[in-house]
Structure 1
Amino acid sequence: MIYLDWAATTPPYGDIQNIMNETALTYYGNPSSLHQEGRRAHEKLEEMRSRCAAILGGTPQELIFTSGGTESNNMIISSLLTRRDKGRVIVSGMEHPSVWEPTQALSKQGWDVKVIKAGSNGLIRPEKLSRLLTEDTKMVLIMGVHNESGVIQPLNDLVEVTRKAESKRPIHFHSDLVQYAGKLPLNLGSLGIDSASISSHKFRGPRGVGLLYEKKPLSGVYAGGDHERGLRPGTENLSGIAGMTVALERVPQALECSQAARRRMILLMNGIKEIPGARLLPQERLENDLHFTPWILNCALPPLPGEVLVRVMDEAGFALSTGSACSSQKKSRTRGLEAMGIDAKTAFSSIRISQGPNTTEEEISSLLRVLKEQASLLGRAIR
């Protein structure tokens, strides 16, 4: 099997499980306990928090250990439920379900939720955001890297216009960085954002563990303990945090493969454009590739349904996807692409190809050959 679904989850490093097991056996005390074993576990926990902060460009006090990106996103959005004064929330139409669905729930509770769409190139223009910002805007939610198309949003520019719009009250700017961390150089402090979510299994760490970066403390809705500054009660997953810390520390080394990944991506895009009827999504991708991460590509072969093509390619030995693994229904699966102006039929035909540092040019060439063959066979079958 040639694995090309790294955006859904990444194969963990071979030694991660051993590191996790050793941590679990060595630091078995509860980090909140006062006895010696508890203190040892607490010291290990804070050591790993400092190590993560050193890599991410934040401070240890700004990092909260969570179960992953979905929980981190929900923690930030649900903090609005503690406020008496409802106002405006601005969210991009391309967001992951863990951001999109909670904001839609806020709308049902009386919040003024405004959706900002991207241009045909996938980028959100700062001036478009500026027009939506009002005095009662409480939060802006825009992801750093789109999980389906790989487009990189100009976060610094978007934060800048948000800060200019602040008058009587600050506006909280949150970014889902789940597809950013591990794919691009990341310094949280330099982005100017107030909070961000990160998930370990997107950069070859274990599943079920992640980070919430929170520069400006918000009220939490969880109750039950003082763990993680009282925002995320419950005994910390020390072994999972150990695995994530090691994987995070290896990100700079993995990013050294970025130029090779870009060469493979160009090979992939040129090959797909040679397939009759195939489209890159967005179509401007090849001409503006520097606005996209080299690890993720979306394309479509209309009128072939994306799910059919994914199943056929699976049988041929290739692991691809139709987009976010957290989107199963037709409408939720195509929402992010439609927010870029892509028509529904083309979006429904889309597939996502995402590579990793271990991907080879031979694997990309093999994918292109089989994809062309299967597209031709399926195309004849539906005529």
Structure 2
Amino acid sequence: MIYLDWAATTPPYQEAIDVMANTMKNIYGNPSSAHAPGLEAKALLNESRKKCAEMLNCKADQIIFTSGGSESNNMIIYSLLKTRDKGEIIVCGLEHPAAGLPVQNMAKMGAKVKQLNPDKAGLIHPEKLAKAINEKTRMVIVMLLNNETGVIQPLEELIAVVREAEIKYGRPIHFHSDMVQALGKIPVDLQKYNVDSASFSAHKFGGPRGIGILFLKKDREFLFLGGGQERGMRPGTENLASIASMTRALELSLQEDHKSMKKLMDLLLEGVSEIPNGEILPPERVSRRENYCDYILSLSFPPVPGEVLARVLNEKGFAISTGSACSTNKKSKTAALTVMGFDRRISFSSVRVSIGRDTTFEEVDEFLKTLGKTVEELAVI
């Protein structure tokens, strides 16, 4: 099987697996215990937190270990329930369901929600955000890198708009960014972005599933209560083995040579352009490469249904997807393309190809040959 669904999850590094196994076996104490095994576990927990903070360019006490991106997003969004006035939430129309669905639920509970849809290239323009903000805005949510199209939002410009609005209205506006898909693919510098919070998930950069990070610039009241771990904001005994494994995976992912990904994407773009009826989504990614990462590519081959194409390619030994893995078998799986303005015919036929550190030129070449033949076969059925 040739694996081309790295955006869904990445195979873990062997070193990350080894670290996890060693920690489970040898550092089994509870970090909250005062005896020797507990202190040893506490030391590793602190060391892991410090290393993650250094790699993300933030302070160690701004790192909260969670179960992953979904929990981190939910924690931030539902924290509005602890405020007297839930106000208005502005959310990017491209958000992953891990952020989009909690926001929809907040609307049912009384919060006003404004959805900002991008242009056809997938970008949110600062001017559009500036017009949407008013004195009632409490939170702005914009993901850094989209999981379906690979578009990278101009986050610094968008955050600058929010900071200006804070001065104008004399009150804080919380800026949260889902960076789950970005970390390990593009540089992530939290000091540079100046977000109030951001979510990360280890299995997107070669770590284990079920562990992640919530970056939180300043303490915030959350709904969870318990033993006081993670400064009381995410109580529960820490998953130390996964935390240590994630930390090592992050170290390794940041050492990867990303230049090879550009060459692989060049091959993909050239190959797809030669397939009859093949469409690269959005078309702008060919001419404006700087706005897209080189790991994710959305394609469409109308009138061939994307689900059919993905299934047939799976039978031929290629793993791709029709969109977010968390949305498979749901109507929202082409949500990104829909809000970008593509018609149903295009989104219905779309598939996502995503590459990673182990993807080879030979695999991409073989995929393109099989893709062309498969599209031709299905188009005449």
TM over 0.5: yes
- Classify the secondary structure of the residue corresponding to 1:51: helix
Looking at structure 2, the residues matched to 148 and 367 of structure 1 have their Cα atoms a distance apart, in angstroms, of: 19
Partner of residue 196, structure 2: 194
In the comparison of the two structures, how many residue pairs are matched? 379
- Whether 2:252 is the aligned partner of 1:250: answer yes
Shift of 1:190: 1.1
Report Cα offsets for 1:175-216 as digits up to 9, x if no partner: 000011000111111111000000000000111100000002
- Whether 2:184 is the aligned partner of 1:182: answer yes
Q: Which runs of 4+ in 1 moved over 6 A?
A: none
Q: How does 1:255-274 map to 2 (within 5 A)?
A: 256=257, 258-274=258-274
Shift of 1:292: 0.3
Is this contact kept in 2: 1:144–1:155, CA < 8 A? yes
Looking at structure 1, the residues matched to 174 and 15 of structure 2 have their Cα atoms a distance apart, in angstroms, of: 38
Is this contact kept in 2: 1:334–1:344, CA < 8 A? no
Shift of 1:72: 0.6
- Whether 2:26 is the aligned partner of 1:41: answer no
State which drifts further: 126-135 or 28-37. Answer: 28-37
- Whether 2:64 is the aligned partner of 1:72: answer no
Partner of residue 364, structure 2: 364
RMSD over aligned CA atoms reads 0.9
Shift of 1:228: 0.5
Is this contact kept in 2: 1:87–1:137, CA < 8 A? yes
Looking at structure 2, the residues matched to 14 and 47 of structure 1 have their Cα atoms a distance apart, in angstroms, of: 21
Shift of 1:217: 1.8
Looking at structure 2, the residues matched to 74 and 121 of structure 1 have their Cα atoms a distance apart, in angstroms, of: 28
> What runs of 5+ residues in structure 1 fail to find an aligned partner?
none
Looking at structure 2, the residues matched to 200 and 253 of structure 1 have their Cα atoms a distance apart, in angstroms, of: 15
Shift of 1:238: 0.4
- Whether 2:171 is the aligned partner of 1:169: answer yes
Identity of aligned residues (%): 50
Looking at structure 2, the residues matched to 197 and 214 of structure 1 have their Cα atoms a distance apart, in angstroms, of: 9
Shift of 1:344: 2.0
> AA paired with 2:360?
T
Shift of 1:232: 0.9
| TM-score (ref. length: structure 1) | 0.97
Looking at structure 1, the residues matched to 120 and 332 of structure 2 have their Cα atoms a distance apart, in angstroms, of: 19
- Classify the secondary structure of the residue corresponding to 2:177: strand
Is this contact kept in 2: 1:227–1:234, CA < 8 A? yes
Is this contact kept in 1: 2:206–2:253, CA < 8 A? no
Shift of 1:160: 0.2
Shift of 1:330: 4.5
Looking at structure 2, the residues matched to 330 and 209 of structure 1 have their Cα atoms a distance apart, in angstroms, of: 25
Looking at structure 2, the residues matched to 209 and 34 of structure 1 have their Cα atoms a distance apart, in angstroms, of: 25
Is this contact kept in 2: 1:176–1:196, CA < 8 A? yes
Q: How does 1:94-243 map to 2 (within 5 A)?
A: 94-166=94-166, 167-243=169-245
Looking at structure 2, the residues matched to 300 and 45 of structure 1 have their Cα atoms a distance apart, in angstroms, of: 45
Partner of residue 92, structure 1: 92
Looking at structure 2, the residues matched to 361 and 323 of structure 1 have their Cα atoms a distance apart, in angstroms, of: 23
Shift of 1:15: 2.7
Is this contact kept in 2: 1:7–1:202, CA < 8 A? yes
State which drifts further: 94-103 or 35-44. Answer: 35-44
Looking at structure 2, the residues matched to 359 and 86 of structure 1 have their Cα atoms a distance apart, in angstroms, of: 45
> AA paired with 1:222?
F
Looking at structure 1, the residues matched to 219 and 116 of structure 2 have their Cα atoms a distance apart, in angstroms, of: 26
Looking at structure 2, the residues matched to 223 and 293 of structure 1 have their Cα atoms a distance apart, in angstroms, of: 39
- Classify the secondary structure of the residue corresponding to 1:61: helix
Looking at structure 2, the residues matched to 239 and 353 of structure 1 have their Cα atoms a distance apart, in angstroms, of: 31
Looking at structure 1, the residues matched to 228 and 277 of structure 2 have their Cα atoms a distance apart, in angstroms, of: 57
| TM-score (ref. length: structure 2) | 0.98
Shift of 1:348: 1.6
> AA paired with 1:245?
T
Looking at structure 2, the residues matched to 342 and 46 of structure 1 have their Cα atoms a distance apart, in angstroms, of: 47
State which drifts further: 81-90 or 139-148. Answer: 81-90
